A and B are shown apart, each in its own frame.
Chain A
Amino acid sequence: MESINWGYVFSTLIIRFIGVFIVLAILQIGMSISSKIIRRIESRQSTNPSKE
Chain B
Amino acid sequence: MNYQEFIDVLMGIYNQTGFLGLTWGHVVMWCIGLFFIYLAIVKKYEPLLLIPIGFGIFIVNFPLTPLMGFSKEGVPELLQAFYHYGITWEIIPCLIFLGLGAMTDFEPLIANPKTLLVGAGAQLGVFITFIGTILCGFTLKEAASVGIIGGADGPTTIYLTQALAPHLLGANALAAYSYMALVPLIQPPIMRLLTTKKERQIVMKSLRKVSKKEKIVFPLIAVSIIALLIPAVVPLMGMFMFGNLMKESGVVDRLTETAQGALMNIVTILLGVSVGATMQADKFLNAAPLLIFSFGIVDFAFCTAGGIWTVKLMNLFLKPGHKMNPLIGSAGVSAVPMSARVSQVEGLKYNKKNHLLMHAIGPNLAGVIGTAAAAGMFIAMFK
> Would you give the 0/1 interface string for B97-122, flagging 1 where the beta carbon is closer than 8 Å to chain A?
00000000000011001101101110
> Would you give the 0/1 interface string for B302-322, flagging 1 where the beta carbon is closer than 8 Å to chain A?
000000000000000000000
Count of inter-chain pairs, beta carbons less than 8 A: 96
Which of A10, A31, A38 contacts B113 (CB under 8 A)? A31
Please tell me the number of chain A residues within 8 Å of chain B, measured between CB atoms: 29
B171 within 8 A of A: no
B94 within 8 A of A: no
Q: Smallest CB–CB gap between B288 and chain A, Å?
A: 14
Which chain B residue shows the least CB distance to A19?
B377
> Cβ of B370: which chain A residues have Cβ within 8 Å of it?
20, 24
A13 touches B127 (CB 8 A): yes
Which of A2, A24, A38 contacts B116 (CB under 8 A)? A24
Q: A9-B131, A13-B131 are in contact. Are A23 and B230 (CB under 8 A)?
A: yes
> Would you give the 0/1 interface string for A8-52, flagging 1 where the beta carbon is closer than 8 Å to chain B?
011011101101111111111011101100110110000000000
Q: Smallest CB–CB gap between B371 and chain A, Å?
A: 9
> Cβ of A21: which chain B residues have Cβ within 8 Å of it?
117, 120-121
Q: A16-B381, A20-B123 are in contact. Are A32 and B113 (CB under 8 A)?
A: yes
Q: Which residues of A contact B (CB under 8 A)?
A: 1-2, 4, 9-10, 12-14, 16-17, 19-28, 30-32, 34-35, 38-39, 41-42
Q: A20-B123, A28-B113, A38-B211 are in contact. List 16 more A-B contacts (CB 8 A).
A: A1-B139, A2-B140, A9-B140, A16-B381, A17-B123, A19-B373, A20-B377, A21-B120, A21-B121, A28-B114, A31-B109, A31-B110, A31-B116, A31-B222, A35-B210, A38-B213
